[in-house]
Amino acid sequence: MSSFSLRGLQPIRTLTLLDGQRVVAANVTGDSASFGKANLNLAGRWTDCSTSGVVHTWKVGGTWQTPFAPLRLRAVLSRDVRAPNSSELFAAPVSINVPGFTNPFTNGTLTITQNTIGNVNLKPESARNLEVGLIFTGPDFLPGFSASVDFYRIRIKDVIGHAETAKSPYWKETKRKGRDTHDDMGPKAMRRYRSTLAESPCPK
């Protein structure tokens, strides 16, 4: 007969940061000789941005050290947001001439005027992120061996960017519930977006 016991149960912690964010976090650890060791982390964040209002984010993550000692599994599911920064909201109008366009009716060459301006009506973009992976380390038959494999999926709604960014080849556009969404980011776009996740949701 096997049993699974909880230990290292930490109480829910609430922190209030200087920039108005409230963070709630909890951690639970379970251990069993038959089923291995599991760790579950829960976190949530409430942020009141002066330019975009209240936003909520959360994260659920866990690891499982399987009874087969060299194998460990991990997974994270989260909701992240990025509020528009000051430039995206309040940039002054800029006009530039862009040559090299072809008139489809006359096949002649055109020069167009491109206008860029901030948009005070922008709302935060949000992402649903999923990462699942495994780590295989130090089996008896392969001393010193270590390898890991990870799967990730990032789906973003209400992407903030210039018109040409939203239409770039790194995005696959879909329709969901009548709203524009941009799913399955390419590797370059994914790296650019993930670099913003550690930042505060409120622009500086």
Q: What is the pLDDT of residues 84-104, one digit of tens each?
A: 888 888 989 888 888 888 888
Better pLDDT: 45 or 161? 45
Q: Which of 15-29, 80-94, 106-120, 142-156 has the highest mean pLDDT?
A: 142-156
Residue 28 CB partners (closer than 8 Å, separation 6+): 6, 8, 9, 10, 39, 40, 42
**pTM (2 d.p.):** 0.65
- Predicted confidence at residue 167, as pLDDT, reads 40
Closest by alpha carbon to 119, among 150, 93, 146? 93
Is 113 in contact with 95 (CB distance < 8 Å)? yes
62 and 131 share one domain:
yes
Q: How sure is the predictor about 41, in pLDDT bands with cuts at 50, 70 and 90?
A: very high
- Predicted confidence at residue 108, as pLDDT, reads 85
* 73 occurs within a structural domain: yes
- 132 to 69, 78, 150: CA distances (angstroms): 19, 12, 6
72 and 165 share one domain:
yes
Percentage, residues of the chain above pLDDT 90: 28
14 and 69 share one domain:
yes
pLDDT in tens, 63-91: 999 999 999 999 999 999 988 888 888 98
**Residues 200, 89, 190: CA angle, nearest 5 degrees:** 50
* Residue pointed to by tokens 């579950």: 40
56 and 109 share one domain:
no
132 and 74 share one domain:
yes
| Kind and range of the H or E run holding 163 | helix 163-166
* 203 occurs within a structural domain: no
115 and 130 share one domain:
no
pLDDT in tens, 148-177: 999 999 999 988 877 654 443 334 443 344
Domain that holds residue 96: 85-121
